[in-house]
């Protein structure tokens, strides 16, 4: 057979034509006509694979549907805008299969044979192999053409596609020739739910013949099992099998070689490597295609993915719907693995908010409301609702970005539209929509806490899929009894959540404890530590701070930091502590003289590490990138620990101090406004968080940041001044 590749040049007139030898090459392959002749005398099951398939294109081709380049990891110039592959064949009298390899696919790309669509590439950034059915008679005797092109008006998408073969049988028969029987157990030989990942020797996810059902959720190279057992069919070949169960467990792997007609059995043993006793694993942002209408995970498949990733407290948050998972969990045999909560992603044109608990199929909040004051009144007026989480605050939806400079001052948590910010939770890590800067939403959250708002930090997945974005990859650990995952006390867990007794986890887990040397009790996230002014004024009295970082053997922490009022105070390098193929746990201790806290403050710890590359749990690229350059990072942080040190009897935020200082400042007789030199002098006893909040409050009196800076605040006000100027420009330009 002769196969010839042509390309559709980029429409950008500045883009040069393709001159790669790849597109001028003629590939000599086995003739499809010969394979078709075999079908008249032998059944497909009797063929050897090498005799029933033909390679029509080998190298992976780099396509870009439009400029600009999506990722810096791709060359400046693509091979083409779309792929046209020409080859000669004989008409097929039975169904055939087109198999190809793809990677980095984000938009909708259609695969057509002789102008008839066969289907779309899988919208998945992972490298995978997938099959397309070629109906009887679609191949023509003579010249044939395969075309791969992106839908019009799609965002810029760089992809790689190629390694195409045509098999002289249907996908069902092709992937049904061999049987793999797998089991996942703990060290006590008890079956446990989990995720099975199937790749070739190069790490490419491979097609599976078995379909979802009977406690299994299946996609290319991925099988979730509720029972811990799975019997699947695959094509003969060599495979790597990896078993895992989310963040808390090890990953076990094995290699197999399987022949046509053979059945291979394997048991993979997983160890619990991250101790999370008394911490409930929660995903506050979970979807199904059944009720949200997009993605690919049905509600039945969702039960298997939740159990397989070890999510004990999932919140059902389909868009503007309130769905109870319990009946489906019962029918799918998943009730012992998690306690589902009915929620709702209230999807408005001015932001998305996950609210819970709600009543299944009950009255929903009015998602048509645009003013946040009215919206939150409506949300909290909905029966049972206690939690309202601000979702993906830096993403653009309906031409609105909640925390764009046009609407929000990050350093101080100010809403520039004068809307009430009554959400009591905020996503810091959304693993289905990570930010280019992994710390950006964390800094936004610090501004809210400095503003005096009680906002619980949240990790979640926003998963609509079985495999593309992994459910529970980012999660929130809530301080609560997790002894029986199927019967978690919902009210107690929500009480703890609202107090900020949480840990945000995305491939890592950091815990934080605080104790003063003159006290016996330790305090954790969500607590307030009262320290007498007498103790704070004693040189020998210290604040003991302990951070513990944990990770499974396949995650690699790099550093842990302690933040005071949103500013890093200490950093510890963790890279030298990581041992290959062993779980990670290390403790870092710091001591801070209490005299360094002249006023109330709050603490949090942040751990970071390198992104996960393993195909069993890969961390994703940004959903809405800010830059073509991206370095994947794992992340964990704690809820705030508040320190009450000034003897007032209650914790006061930087915003509270700023209000008090302005109120206590004498009025300048000439301007009728606060005497700025006096105020600047008073601020010398306070940290930068209080300075920033003071600058924000002075804006209400038409006092520009530069005026207080000139009066003596100096460098400590420069960052706020720059942010205010950017916000002013964004509002003038009406730019999100």
Q: Which residues touch 170 (CB under 8 Å, ≥6 apart)?
A: 44, 94, 95, 96, 97, 133
Residue 169: band (very low, low, confident or very high) from pLDDT cuts 50, 70, 90: very high
The reported pLDDT for the residue numbered 48 is: 34
**Average pLDDT score over the chain:** 91
Neighbouring CB atoms inside 10 A of 324's CB total: 15
CA distances in angstroms from 541 to 271, 528, 563, 564, 660, listed in the order given: 42, 18, 20, 18, 28
| The pLDDT value given to residue 20 | 32
Grade residue 516 by pLDDT with cuts at 50, 70 and 90.
Answer: confident
**Which residue reads 């073969």 in tokens?**
165
pLDDT confidence tier of residue 539, bands split at 50, 70 and 90: low
The pLDDT value recorded for residue 39 is: 26
Residue-level pLDDT at 578: 66
Least confident range of 195-209, 302-316, 320-334, 581-595: 581-595
| Mean pLDDT on 488-506 | 98
**Residue 19 pLDDT greater than 50, yes or no:** no
Q: How confident is the model at residue 534 (pLDDT cuts 50, 70, 90)?
A: low
pLDDT (0 to 100) of residue 540: 60
At 295, list the tokens.
Answer: 């993605």
Whether 97 contacts 170, CB under 8 Å = yes
Residue 241 near residue 268 (C-beta atoms within 8 A): yes
Please tell me whether residue 260 adopts helix, strand or coil conformation: coil
- pLDDT tens figures, 399-412: 999 999 999 999 99
**For the chain, what percent of residues have pLDDT higher than 70?**
91
Average pLDDT over residues 73-99: 95
d(CA 370, CA 372): 6
State the architecture of 507-652 in CATH terms: Distorted Sandwich (2.70)
Q: Of 552, 559, 527, 555, which Cα lies nearest the Cα of 638?
A: 527
CA dihedral 293, 295, 301, 307 (to 10 degrees): -120
Q: Which CATH class is domain 178-269?
A: mainly beta
Looking at the DSSP assignment, which residues form a beta bridge with residue 591? 544
Select from 339, 325, 308 the least CA-distant residue to 219: 308
The answer to whether the CB of 661 falls within 8 A of the CB of 467 is no
Query: What is the spatial distance between Cα 267 and Cα 229, in angstroms, rounded to a whole number?
Result: 9
Mean pLDDT of 720-735: 96
> Collapsing DSSP states into helix, strand and coil, what is residue 592?
strand
Q: What is the distance between the alpha carbons of residues 230 and 233, in angstroms, rounded to a whole number?
A: 10
Two structure tokens written together for 503: 């840990």
Q: Is the pLDDT of residue 97 over 70?
A: yes
Which tens digit of pLDDT belongs to each residue from 425-439?
Answer: 999 999 999 999 999
pLDDT at 40 over 70: no
At residue 56, the 3 state secondary structure works out as strand
Lowest mean pLDDT among 155-159, 333-337, 595-599: 595-599
Mean pLDDT for the stretch of residues 99-106: 98
pLDDT at 209 over 60: yes
C-alpha distance across the termini of the chain, in Å: 54
Give the residue extent of every domain in the chain: 2-170, 178-269, 281-432+446-469+477-491, 507-652, 654-733
User: What number is the average pLDDT over the span 561-569?
Assistant: 97
521 pLDDT tier (thresholds 50, 70, 90): confident
Instruction: Inform me whether the pLDDT recorded for 2 exceeds 80.
Output: no
CATH number at 2-170: 2.60.120
pLDDT higher than threshold 60 for residue 537: no
Selected from 3.40.120, 2.60.120, 2.20.28, 3.20.20, the CATH number assigned to the domain covering 281-432+446-469+477-491 reads 3.20.20
Q: Are the C-beta atoms of residues 421 and 402 closer than 8 Å to each other? A: no
Report pLDDT digits (tens) over 246-261: 999 999 999 999 999 9
């Amino acid at each position: 057979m002769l196969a010839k590749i042509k390309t559709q040049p980029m429409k950008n007139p500045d883009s040069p034509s393709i001159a790669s030898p790849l597109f001028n090459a003629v590939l000599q392959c086995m003739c499809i006509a010969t394979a078709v002749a075999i079908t008249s005398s032998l059944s497909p099951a009797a063929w050897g694979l090498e005799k029933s398939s033909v390679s029509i294109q080998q190298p992976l081709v780099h396509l870009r549907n439009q400029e600009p380049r999506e990722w810096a990891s791709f060359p400046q110039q693509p091979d083409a805008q779309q792929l046209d592959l020409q080859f000669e064949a004989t008409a097929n009298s039975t169904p055939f299969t087109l198999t190809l390899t793809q990677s980095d696919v984000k938009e909708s790309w259609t695969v057509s044979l002789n102008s008839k669509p066969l289907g779309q590439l899988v919208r998945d950034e992972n490298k995978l192999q997938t099959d397309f059915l070629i109906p009887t008679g679609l191949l023509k005797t003579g010249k044939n053409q395969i075309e791969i092109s992106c839908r019009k008006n799609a965002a810029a998408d760089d992809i790689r596609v190629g390694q195409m073969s045509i098999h002289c049988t249907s996908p069902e028969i092709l992937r049904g020739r061999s049987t793999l029987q797998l089991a996942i157990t703990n060290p006590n030989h008890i079956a446990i739910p989990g995720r099975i990942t199937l790749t070739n020797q190069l790490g490419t996810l491979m097609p599976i013949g078995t379909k979802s059902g009977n406690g299994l959720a299946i996609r290319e190279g991925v099988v979730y099992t509720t029972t811990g057992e799975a019997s699947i069919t695959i094509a003969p070949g060599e495979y790597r099998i990896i078993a895992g169960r989310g963040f808390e467990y090890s990953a076990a792997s094995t290699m197999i070689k399987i022949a046509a007609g053979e059945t291979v059995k394997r048991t993979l043993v997983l160890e619990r490597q991250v101790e999370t006793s008394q911490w409930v694993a929660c995903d506050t942002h979970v979807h199904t295609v059944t009720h949200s209408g997009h993605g690919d995970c049905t509600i039945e498949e969702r039960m298997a993915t939740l159990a397989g990733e070890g999510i004990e407290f999932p919140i059902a948050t389909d868009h503007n719907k309130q769905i109870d998972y319990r009946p489906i969990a019962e029918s799918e045999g998943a009730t012992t693995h998690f306690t589902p909560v009915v929620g709702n992603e209230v999807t408005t044109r001015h932001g998305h908010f996950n609210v819970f608990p709600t009543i299944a199929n009950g009255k929903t909040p009015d998602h048509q409301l645009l003013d946040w004051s009215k919206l939150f009144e409506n949300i909290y007026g909905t029966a049972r609702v206690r939690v309202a989480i601000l979702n993906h605050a830096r993403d653009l939806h309906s031409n609105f970005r909640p925390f764009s400079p046009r609407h929000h001052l990050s350093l101080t948590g100010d809403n520039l539209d004068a809307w009430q910010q009554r959400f009591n939770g905020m996503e810091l890590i959304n693993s289905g929509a990570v930010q280019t800067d992994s710390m950006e939403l964390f800094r936004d959250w610090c501004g809210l806490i400095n503003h005096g708002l009680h906002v619980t930090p949240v990790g979640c997945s926003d998963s609509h899929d079985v495999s593309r974005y992994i459910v529970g990859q980012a999660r929130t650990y809530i301080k609560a009894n997790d002894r029986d995952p199927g019967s978690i006390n919902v009210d107690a867990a929500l009480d703890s959540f609202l107090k900020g007794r949480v840990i945000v986890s995305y491939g890592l887990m950091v815990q934080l404890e605080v104790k003063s040397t003159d006290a016996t009790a330790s305090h954790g996230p969500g607590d307030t530590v009262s320290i007498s002014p007498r103790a704070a004024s004693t040189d020998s009295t210290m604040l003991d701070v302990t951070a513990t970082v944990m990770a499974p053997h396949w995650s690699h922490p790099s550093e842990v930091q302690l933040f005071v009022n949103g500013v890093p105070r200490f950093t510890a390098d963790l890279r030298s502590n990581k041992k290959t193929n062993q779980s990670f746990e290390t403790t870092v201790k710091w001591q801070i003289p209490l005299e360094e806290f002249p006023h109330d403050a709050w603490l949090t710890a942040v751990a970071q590490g390198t992104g996960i590359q393993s195909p069993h749990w890969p961390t994703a690229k940004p959903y809405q990138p800010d830059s073509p350059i991206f370095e994947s990072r794992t992340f964990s942080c704690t809820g705030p620990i508040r320190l009450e040190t000034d003897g007032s009897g209650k914790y006061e935020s930087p915003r509270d101090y700023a209000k008090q200082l302005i109120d206590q400042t004498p009025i300048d007789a000439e301007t009728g406004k606060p005497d700025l030199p006096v105020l600047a002098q008073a601020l010398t006893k306070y940290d930068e968080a209080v300075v920033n909040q003071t600058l924000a409050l002075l804006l209400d009196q038409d006092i520009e940041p530069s005026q207080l800076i000139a009066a003596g605040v100096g460098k400590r006000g420069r960052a706020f001044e720059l942010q205010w100027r950017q916000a002013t420009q964004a509002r003038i330009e009406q730019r999100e």
